[in-house]
Amino acid sequence: MTERSGAASAARRLAPRLAARAAAHDRDGSFPVDDFTDLREAGLFGLMVPAELGGAGATFAAYAAVATELARGNGATALVFNMHASVTGALGAVTEELAEALGVPAEALAARDRLLRAAADGAWYAVAMSERGAGARLSQLATVYEPVDGGWRIKGSKTFCSGAGHADGYLVAARSAADPSVVSQFLVPAGEGLTVEPTWDALGMRATASHDLHLDVTVGTDRLLGGVEGLALVVAQLMPHWLVASYAAVYVGVARAAIDAAAEHLNARNLAGLPAVRARLGRADAAVAAAELAVAEAARRVDEAPGDEETNRWVWRAKLLAGTTAADVAASMLEAAGTSATRRGHPLERLYRDARCGSLHPATSDVCADWLGIATLGGDPDRDGSSPRW
């Protein structure tokens, strides 16, 4: 509990600094380098690193609280941080029992420990998973790897790589050239062999620098995560929360930021007395409060029983509620604030665009609704779901 409040408080203290820089990064689509310096100095890169490796050993619930607070400052910064938290959180969650069950050799665990220690010391990692055409579906990747002298050669192109060009390392999923059914994950260090193609120029979350990343790189043996090939899908199934729920916490923060910005704007113009405005803010407040509870509940259950059926339902609920609430609330807050809030540089102008993105991250709101519906009807989403986007 102590570490949790500590990290969330640190994030809350940082939020105004992030907010002050948000407009410029949004305008230019530039990466918030200073935000990440702040995050490093606040020790947040070690948030998910186990205490014995020098980190804060935070729970998923603690992560969610941090992400929401950061997103109240800048949703884009929180989204990129989310990727780092996913990588370190998933690595840190591999227990000795699990490692043994998966056949992870000791030297792979040692390599894992080095990566986590580095994070606790201030390194941060990005995720290079999606590909054009394949989306985030591991089963359809075109990036391949093969063993070479002293390591692995990886070749392919990734898209939507948040933080591309700024991270210290990249979690890369690739399939074996020898056996296409084998998908493995590597932690590729920044440097030669990686080329960033600046393709990211989007409606919202512009400062994430989610550019394309081209890989033609050789990495050391110890960069194969888990030390044995073919673990990518296993890990994905064990930790679906990192692929879905971690977004939700971000969008709750974005939605709350929209309410805050609208209240400030309306008070400054003496429009707080308008009944229509009050109704909009009241309903928005209730909706965001409920979404925040859903995210917290999902996170609590992820900590208690990760991957469980009921946990997964909470993860989908959180994702669905956060995504739809953020978009609806930001649209309503902009309408409450009026034309003067549509000027570029006004927080609501940016938040309206950022907020729209939450439902679109995988699993989309429509997919979450489908999965939840199947589960509510007693079915099995894995078996019955159409969800061709996942």
Which lies closer to a second copy via its Cβ, residue 178 or residue 274? 274
Residue 13's contacts (CB-CB under 8 Å, 6 or more residues apart) are: 42
Distance of CA 179 to the CA centre of its chain: 30
Cα 69 from Cα 90, distance rounded (Å): 21
Q: Which one of the spans 51-59, 68-76, 108-116, 286-294 is the region binding a second copy (CB under 8 A)?
A: 286-294
Which lies closer to a second copy via its Cβ, residue 184 or residue 364? 364
The CB density around residue 16, as the number of other CB atoms within 10 Å, is: 10
Report in angstroms how near the CB of residue 200 gets to a second copy at its nearest: 8
Cα 165 from Cα 198, distance rounded (Å): 10
Report in angstroms how near the CB of residue 358 gets to a second copy at its nearest: 10
* Binding of a second copy by 275 (CB under 8 A): yes
Binding-site string for a second copy from residue 304 to residue 323, where x marks contact by CB under 8 A and - marks none: ---------xx-xx--xx--
Distance of CA 17 to the CA centre of its chain: 20
Q: Which of 13, 342, 380, 382 binds a second copy (CB under 8 A)?
A: 342
* Binding of a second copy by 131 (CB under 8 A): no
Please identify which residue in the block is written with the tokens 């034309």.
339
* Binding of a second copy by 349 (CB under 8 A): yes
Report in angstroms how near the CB of residue 243 gets to a second copy at its nearest: 15
Q: Answer yes or no: are the C-beta atoms of 154 and 217 closer than 8 Å.
A: yes
Report in angstroms how near the CB of residue 366 gets to a second copy at its nearest: 4
Q: Answer yes or no: are the C-beta atoms of 175 and 233 closer than 8 Å.
A: no
Report in angstroms how near the CB of residue 351 gets to a second copy at its nearest: 11
Number of residues that bind a second copy (CB under 8 A): 76
* Binding of a second copy by 386 (CB under 8 A): yes
* Binding of a second copy by 280 (CB under 8 A): yes
Q: If you ran DSSP here, which 8-state letter would residue 135 be given?
A: B
The amino acid at residue 4 is: R
ω before 363 within 30° of 0 (cis)? yes
Q: Which one of the spans 97-105, 195-203, 213-221, 229-237 is the region binding a second copy (CB under 8 A)?
A: 195-203
